[in-house]
A and B are shown apart, each in its own frame.
Chain A
Amino acid sequence: MNDFKTSFLPTLSVRNAAAAIEFYKKAFGAEILMSVADPGGAIVAELSINGVRFLVADESPEHENFSPETLGGSTIRMGLVVPDPDRMARQAIAAGAAEIYPVADQDYGYRLGRIKDPFGHHWEICKKLN
């Protein structure tokens, strides 16, 4: 039997990975699973939020990895499905995120709010409504 499970592992490009990692720890309770720095000091780190993993990396425009600050916007929003979006959004805002709109029941079936983190990435923090 093949029990392989398809999953996502997003990589977020940022201008200051060291500071971003500290923010994600406070905002989302992220844990650092791995962190490596190249000789120039550029960091790539793997973080986990309640077991879901993502990568944070200092931008490298030579590899077409751009931070939202460099491009003046972000091309992907991070949907983050959690048991308690109200609490998670509050925690992220307390850690320095900006609220784009508050967590509320949305007509498309989610309790969802949107924040922008200090590094320019947008997060939609949500859970499915029954």
Chain B
Amino acid sequence: MKQKTTFTPMLTISNGVTDVDFYKKAFGATELRRFSNDDGTIHVSELEIDGAMFHLHEQGINYKSSPGVLKGTTVTIGLFVDDVHAVMAKAVEAGAILTSPVQDYEYGYRQGEIADPFGHRWQIQKDLR
């Protein structure tokens, strides 16, 4: 089978996280696999949103690089969805912070942006062209 090229972003989270239901509630994500530490906290969680896979990975003990520690993010995850308004509303209801409300831009995208409860930034969008 020919392997198709895809991105699987890996989002760094704090140590000690046990609850990642935000992604299920906000984006309808399904958790495929979870690798837990002995104390039950998440080491890696493998999730997918309608076939698009991504991972959450706890930050290293000696190399702390979650958005909370670094005080910012170096990558924004664009997520193409069918209904931008609906996904944005669900994300905010699930605990995201609205950073840029939904708007149609002249370059042909409908976009809104949120910060999730772990500090990662998502641009929810649809190509209107």
Contact partners of B7 in chain A: CB under 8 A: 8, 10, 52, 54, 78-81
Known: A7-B80, A8-B78, A10-B78. A71 touches B66 (CB 8 A): no
Q: Does A12 contact B (CB under 8 A)?
A: yes
Known: A6-B81, A71-B72, A121-B74. A76 touches B11 (CB 8 A): yes
- Identify which of residues 70-84 in chain A touch chain B, using a CB-to-CB cut-off of 8 Å: 70-83
Q: Does B52 contact A (CB under 8 A)?
A: yes
Tell me whether B5 and A12 are in contact (CB under 8 A): no
CA distance A49 to B119 in the complex (A): 27
Tell me whether B8 and A120 are in contact (CB under 8 A): no
Known: A10-B76, A74-B74. A127 touches B3 (CB 8 A): yes
Q: Residue-by-residue, is A103-130 near B (CB-CB < 8 Å gives 1, otherwise 0)? A: 0000010000000000011001011100
Q: How far is the CB of B54 from chain A (nearest CB, A)?
A: 7
With beta carbons under 8 angstroms apart, the residue of B4, B12, B33, B63 that contacts A76 is B12
Known: A6-B79, A66-B73. A74 touches B65 (CB 8 A): yes
Contact partners of A4 in chain B: CB under 8 A: 81-82
Number of A interface residues at 8 Å Cβ cutoff, please give it. Answer: 44
Number of B interface residues at 8 Å Cβ cutoff, please give it. Answer: 45
CA distance A66 to B8 in the complex (A): 21
- Identify which of residues 1-58 in chain A touch chain B, using a CB-to-CB cut-off of 8 Å: 2, 4-13, 49-52, 54-55
Tell me whether A52 and B5 are in contact (CB under 8 A): yes
Known: A7-B52, A75-B67, A76-B120. A52 touches B6 (CB 8 A): yes
Tell me whether A6 and B52 are in contact (CB under 8 A): yes
Tell me whether A13 and B125 are in contact (CB under 8 A): no
Tell me whether A50 and B72 are in contact (CB under 8 A): no
Q: How far is the CB of A4 from chain B (nearest CB, A)?
A: 4
Tell me whether A81 and B6 are in contact (CB under 8 A): yes
A-B CB proximity, top 5 nearest: A9-B78, A79-B8, A50-B5, A6-B50, A76-B75
A residues near B, CB below 8 A?
2, 4-13, 49-52, 54-55, 61, 64-68, 70-83, 108, 120-121, 124, 126-128
Could you list some 29 contacts between A and B, CB below 8 A? A5-B51, A5-B80, A6-B81, A8-B9, A9-B79, A11-B75, A11-B77, A12-B74, A50-B5, A64-B121, A66-B74, A68-B74, A70-B72, A73-B63, A73-B64, A74-B12, A75-B65, A76-B11, A76-B73, A77-B10, A78-B75, A79-B9, A79-B53, A80-B7, A81-B7, A81-B8, A108-B44, A121-B74, A124-B10
